[in-house]
A and B are shown apart, each in its own frame.
Chain A
Amino acid sequence: MTYIPISPAERDAMLKTVGVKSLDDLFEAIPAKHRFPDLNLPPALTEMEAGAHLGDMASSNENVREHLISFLGAGAYHHYIPSVVDHILRRGEFYTAYTPYQPEISQGTLQAIFEYQSLMTNLTGMEVSNASHYDGATATAEAVNLAYAQFRGKRKKIVMSPTVHPQYREVIRTYTQAMGLEEVGDDASNHEVTPEAMISLIDESTMLVVVQYPDFFGRIFDYKKLIDAAHEKGALVCVVANPTALLMLKSPGEMGADIVVGEAQPFGIPLWYGGPYLGFFTTKKSYVHKMAGRLVGETVDARGNRSYVLTLTAREQHIKRERATSNICTNQGLLALGCSVYMSVLGKQGLQEVANLCYQKAHYAAAELSKIDGFGLCHVEPFFHEFVLCCPKPASEVNQYLLDNGILGGYDLGKDYPDMQNHLLVAVTEMNSKDEIDSLVEILKEMK
């Protein structure tokens, strides 16, 4: 937005044109008693005092950049972000969360979003990508909306793997609570179910099968058989994927997935305090009219030059109203831009190196940790950069012990899977040096 100065004379001229005497008159619709309510706040601080006070409070936080060595993942991952990402995001030309409606004045932003979409479809092996959702959980819930709309409400069953992120499953339940859907397979005590064993749950009333890749425990499964079986019954399949893992693994598109969604935070977005993050949503071209959210397309302008516009907007809720698939309208445009800058700066080779470092370091950590007395790997399946460590005592106690030693341990799986109290989900990324991994091992060896 361009800065436009205003003088008192100009302001008065505008007020006169509008037909009011003062700025206050513009707020007349709000009753006077609600304009400046008594907020019962402590006495005001000066800017210097407030800065010092907030600084004090902030210094009691411990973060993974300065204070703690982190092995915590479970959906949010600590990766290196080149400084150029932030520099581009802070440029005034880009600094908005909204997708632009006016192509005449927004070609640069629209092109950046178009690049984001192209990169995401390359990564997932899908044909179209929207311009993002709030986070991985809401993107997954939108996949349910798509499937529901695709079958026009005639199929009402979701087959859900118990090793889809527990919080994503929770968000799906919230989204769908009034839709009269039936959810099967989502049983926390049955977390060792194989993809093949889930096939028997799929029938002609199944609209969507949801699995995660790698799954919440970090395991890599080939879902091809499950996907083929779902397609035989006419059902759609949504794969929730980790984008970093996709740099190394066969794409869900190659396995036949219909929808691939996930959390794009690992691609250039800091951990922050759990958000704002970025949900990606990709699917096949045949489902594009049921896909929620903004979509940028390439076209030509009146002179025949390449240009970009929001496309297929008639399917969106501001036109289709209550008949739209979803009421998602705005998105994480700025973070999608950050994500495409991250991918562009690292390039294909750089991204693959990140994935390879994560893989190698995680496997080194897993090998070393499993040598410690009383500890062991819980699963035998291949994994990417996260794995379940069986501990000799409750994971909550192990985590407390590690925290006392300056280490943010893994995710305590007992919180979501009652029979996994002694199980720690450990994530390793390129940010973890060999020294850090070795000290994790040494400290756990000393644990009483």
Chain B
Amino acid sequence: MNTPSNLKYTKSDEWFDPATGAVGISDYAQSQLSDIVFVEILVDEGEEVTAGKAIASVESVKASSEIYAPAAGKVSAVNKGLSDAPETLNSDPFGAAWMIKIEGGSAGEVMDAAEYEKYCEGRSH
């Protein structure tokens, strides 16, 4: 499992980059979902979001999940190309598969990489 140390993580498996404001789903999340076939970003550029608000919807061959904002603030960018290449969420969850960027964001309840790794270990039997 890959957990870049510069990122913050939520209990619902989103990552948040405090430096750029970028948001995505973790390596753990993409591996649990298996092959992702569809992603829809539910917010538009310029929209204000609160931490915990649903910002995207992801469907894999087996499951469907909502992705929640890990921070509050204004949506400054949306990764428009992502819906045409949902498989990027499996292949490059921390890079090309960023979903949105949140500007001036104050992070909600987040963990650092070490805490998140421990949290994930606790969930796998």
Contacts and interface: CB of A to CB of B under 8 A. Distances in A.
B80 to A, nearest CB: 14
Interface string A312-341: 101100011001000000000000000000
A323 B64 contact: yes
A283 B38 CA distance: 17
A314 B62 contact: yes
A231 interface: no
B111 interface: no
A323 B57 contact: yes
Contacts of B57: 323
B112 interface: no
A319 B37 contact: no
Interface size class of chain B, counting residues whose CB lies under 8 Å from the partner chain: 10 to 19
Nearest to B43: A152
Contact of A314 (B37, B40, B42, B66): B37
A312 B66 contact: no
Contacts of A323: 57, 64, 66
Contacts of A224: none
B59 A289 contact: yes
B2 to A, nearest CB: 25
B120 interface: no
A315 B64 contact: yes
A310 to B, nearest CB: 11
A293 B80 CA distance: 27
B114 interface: no
Contacts of B59: 289, 312, 314-315, 320
Contacts of A152: 42
Interface in A214-270: none
A16 to B, nearest CB: 35
B37 A312 contact: yes
A213 to B, nearest CB: 30
Interface in B61-108: 61-64, 66
B37 A320 contact: no
B50 interface: no
B12 interface: no
B3 interface: no
A378 to B, nearest CB: 46
Contact of A319 (B38, B42, B64, B66): B64
A300 to B, nearest CB: 15
Given A314-B60, A315-B64, A289 B42 contact: no
Nearest to B42: A152
B25 to A, nearest CB: 15
Nearest to B54: A323
- Counting chain B CB atoms within 10 Å of each CB, which of A314, A315, A319, A323 scores highest? A314
A289 B63 contact: no
- Counting chain A CB atoms within 10 Å of each CB, which of B38, B63, B64 scores highest? B64
A312 B63 CA distance: 10
Contacts of B38: 289, 312, 314-315
A319 B40 CA distance: 17
A252 B8 CA distance: 50
Given A314-B60, A315-B59, A289 B66 contact: no
Contacts of B66: 323
Nearest to B58: A314
A312 B60 CA distance: 9
Interface string B15-45: 0000000000000000000000110101000
Contacts of B42: 152
Nearest to B36: A314
Contacts of A312: 37-38, 59
A109 to B, nearest CB: 21
Contacts of A320: 59, 64
Nearest to A154: B44
A102 to B, nearest CB: 16
5 tightest A-B CB contacts, nearest first: A314-B59, A314-B64, A320-B64, A289-B38, A319-B64
Interface of B: 37-38, 40, 42, 57, 59-64, 66
Given A289-B59, A312-B38, A320-B59, 9 more contacts: A312-B59, A314-B59, A314-B60, A314-B62, A314-B63, A315-B64, A319-B62, A320-B64, A323-B57
21 contacts: A152-B42, A289-B38, A289-B40, A289-B59, A312-B37, A312-B38, A312-B59, A314-B37, A314-B59, A314-B60, A314-B61, A314-B63, A314-B64, A315-B59, A315-B64, A319-B62, A319-B63, A320-B59, A320-B64, A323-B57, A323-B66
